[in-house]
Amino acid sequence: MQPPAPDQNADPPKRGRRIVFFLLLGLVLLLGFGLFWWGLPLARGLLQGASRYGELQWQRRGAWIDVTLEQAKRRSWPEGTAFLEPEWSTVLPGLAVAELWMRRPPNLLAFRLILVRADPAFWHPSVAFEPNFSGSTVAGLAGAGAFPVAINASYFSEEGPVGLLIQRGVRWRPASRRWAAHFFVSPEGIPRVLNKKNADLSGVWEGVQGFPAIMSGGTTYPYMRYGGRGFDVGVVDRRSALCINRQGELLLLATDTLTNGLALSELATVLGGLGCIDAMGLDGGTSTGLFVHTSTRMESIPNLKPVPVIIGLRPD
């Protein structure tokens, strides 16, 4: 007996339902991805907004220590006033790395700072970038062993870095008259931070501008404490910065966090608490990135946004 012929009229509705199902599923996934992509920065902003309340604490040997009101408001940092005590680990001659954990109760979500301290007698700071200023990760621009240590540099736009950019004595970008913060390196490899508008560029071998100018000669600028100049010093975000300490060493700092970080006023306190005398900010937020790759220590804070320029350290 022959089996009954298939009902040719039954297939199209089934296929149609399957097509509608997969179309709806694709639409739901697309909407979900869109909401996630749109909501991630919003959620990050809300968490950062909530994180700005509370007094800063730092951790030493497992114990949490308050940053006192006097320390949080201090503007002058003479010798002997540094209070932060990170546990430095020497990874190569003239190069030390430390981590410093911080939190802001009642928010108990802790975040860490990665710190690098370099002796210019052993380490030479340089700027590095692709000729077309294409954005990349800090680790990518550091190259395969070219710079064992690197941090994101100055602010940028779609056209590349904004403000001064000098590499090996060649000026790739003109200085901005709006910014006072400069990081300079002499031909001998000596780094310095000069917070001065219309700075003299003679004898500068490597250089970038940044923002904001944080402290000079051991004194924090008033706007870093009280605000003004068009920015809120209480906003919590990822931060990157550099400074020169009393020993003439270069310190690099970056926050390792997605939804927390430091307010600019707190960043000034941290830099003063580390013994800095001249300090400036680099491009923070999603541009924050730090890379340490040595035989004895590896650290990486991936930048969430591609950056065109880094400051790297290479053995002298």
H or E element at residue 194? strand 191-195
Quickly count: other Cβ atoms within 10 Å of residue 7's Cβ.
7
Please state the domain extents for the chain. Answer: 8-51, 55-315
Average pLDDT, the chain: 89
> In the prediction, which pLDDT does 241 show?
98
Residue 8 structure tokens = 């040719």
- Each residue of 73-92: pLDDT tens digit? 999 999 999 999 999 999 99
**pTM for the full predicted model:** 0.84
> In the prediction, which pLDDT does 6 show?
43
Spell out the residues 6+ positions from residue 307 whose beta carbon is closer than 8 angstroms to its own: 135, 136, 137, 138, 141, 152, 153, 156, 283, 287, 289
By DSSP bridging, strand 213-216 and strand 219-220 are antiparallel
- Each residue of 220-268: pLDDT tens digit? 999 999 987 677 899 999 999 999 999 999 999 999 999 899 999 999 9
Question: Worst-scoring range by mean pLDDT, 20-34, 97-111, 194-208, 292-306?
Answer: 20-34
- Each residue of 10-68: pLDDT tens digit? 455 666 777 777 787 778 777 765 555 555 555 544 555 555 678 999 999 999 999 99
Residue 100 structure tokens = 């410093």
**Share of residues in the chain with pLDDT > 70 (%):** 87
Spell out the residues 6+ positions from residue 163 whose beta carbon is closer than 8 angstroms to its own: 154, 155, 173, 175, 176, 179, 208, 209, 210
